[in-house]
Amino acid sequence: MAATAQMTLEEIRSGLGWRKQLDKLFVIAGLSIVLACLGVLAILFLDLVRDGSARFGWDFFTSFPSRKAERAGILSAAVGTTMIMFVTALAALPVGVAAAIYLEEYAPKNWLTGIIEINVTNLAGVPSIVYGLLALGLFVYQFGFGQSVLSAGLTLALLILPIIIVATRESLRSVPKAIREAAYGLGATRWEVSRDHVLPYSTGGILTGLILGLSRAIGETAPLITIGALSFIAFLPPSPVSAEFPFLNFQWLRSEYTAMPIQMFNWVSRPDQAFQANAAAAGAILLGMTLAMNGLAIWIRYRFRKRINW
């Protein structure tokens, strides 16, 4: 029975040599693809920085838009983006997390749940302009929120809801079954298990999902144009905090607004070459904001992984 005879040392070595070559080949191929991707991003970023280099400066951040390129700045756009992101996070987080908890911990596994799950995943692929049209009808006209920060925040919240739901479910699912059983075994209800255990232990993943969602939303232009973002805003919305009672006010929610990508879009579409530099500078800043948010997401995930290690 030659087929089952033991291999000689030479046979083992010659076979192993080729297999290890293949292993190395894969490493080289993989690494070059990764580097190519990073390279494209780096070139894009550096190009934006170079084109916009003349405009970087304190004035750019503290000026309103202007007809003169060298005097225009991103103050109203940056403030608008910040407010919109705040509304988006506040609206999308509770709704998304609640939906994920329901689907993961409560929903019976039947065809109805299956349809809901497929549709939640599909929602992530709906073109953002469609969300814009929906929001124009619903938030702007039906609910009468108008062309406001509130409308924009809610629209982007709809847009990132599927991202948050999927990320949260993933995170909830990573809590071991043994932990759930331990809590159920002590007589906890489903709500108590979710509130006291599953949710706190998956906070890291949920926050990561939120930030990844927000970094998608921060660059969205189409839905904001649809619901009527303005590109020329030469004032700031009323401050949310004031010195007099009741200290908080929500007037800013109803304020008109502009946002970073809208401002960029406006500048890019101007014939005057000088505005191109403004657009490039704003683009670099927006890209920087996105990278910073993703960095924060990675840091949060790292922190929570270190604390809870199953």
Partner 1 sequence: MSMDVSTPTHAVSDKRQAAAMQGDSRIQPAGTPSVSIAIDERKTVAANTPKASSQGLNFWYGSNHALKGIDLAIPENQVTALIGPSGCGKSTFLRCFNRMHDLQPETRYQGAILLRPDDVNLVSREVDPIEVRMRIGMVFQKPNPFPKSVFENVAYGLRLRGVRNRLNLAERVEKALRDAAIWDEVKDRLEDSALALSGGQMQRLCIARALATQPELLLFDEPTSALDPIATAKIEELISELRQRVTILIVTHNMQQAARVSDFTAFMYLGELVEVDATSRIFTNPSRKATEDYITGRYG
Nearest to 69 by CA among 256, 286, 280, 225: 280
Minimum CB separation of residue 204 from partner 1 in Å reads 12
User: Taking CB under 8 A as the rule, does residue 176 contact partner 1?
Assistant: yes
To the nearest whole angstrom, how small is the minimum distance from the Cβ of residue 173 to partner 1? 15
3-state helix, strand, coil in the chain (%, to 5): 75, 0, 25
- DSSP lists the bridge partners of residue 256 as none
3-state secondary structure of 310: coil
Q: Count of residues for the chain?
A: 310
Q: Does 101 bind partner 1 (CB under 8 A)?
A: no
CA 211 to chain centre: 5
Segment near partner 1 (CB under 8 A); pick from 33-41, 124-132, 151-159, 179-187: 179-187
Q: Among residues 133 and 188, whose Cβ is nearest to partner 1?
A: 188
Interface stretch with partner 1, choices 35-43, 92-100, 176-184, 292-300 (CB under 8 A): 176-184
CB 93 to partner 1: min, Å: 22
Per CB under 8 A, does 306 bind partner 1?
no
Contact between 95 and partner 1 (CB under 8 A)?
no
Among 95, 124, 183, 212, binds partner 1 (CB under 8 A): 183
Instruction: Determine the Cα–Cα distance for residues 26 and 20; give it in Å rounded to an integer.
Output: 10
Query: Is it true that the peptide bond before 200 is cis, omega within 30 degrees of 0?
Result: no
Q: How far is the CB of 125 from partner 1 (least distance, A)?
A: 30
Residue 272 phi, psi (nearest 5)? -65, 120
SS3 73: coil
What's the token pair of residue 28? 């080289």
The one-letter amino acid code at 199 reads L
Kindly identify the residues of this chain, within the stretch 201-220, that bind partner 1 according to CB under 8 A: 201
The one among 2, 27, 108, 241 contacting partner 1 by CB under 8 A = 108
Min. distance of Cβ 105 from partner 1 in angstroms? 10
Q: Quick check: 172 and 100 in contact, CB under 8 A?
A: yes
Residue 173 or 180 having the CB closest to partner 1: 180
Taking CB under 8 A as the criterion, the residue among 7, 33, 118, 182 binding partner 1 is 182
Element at 141 (helix H, strand E): none
CB of 187 or CB of 271, closer to partner 1: 187
DSSP letter at 2 equals G
Query: Which is nearer to partner 1, 63 or 113 (by Cβ)?
Result: 113
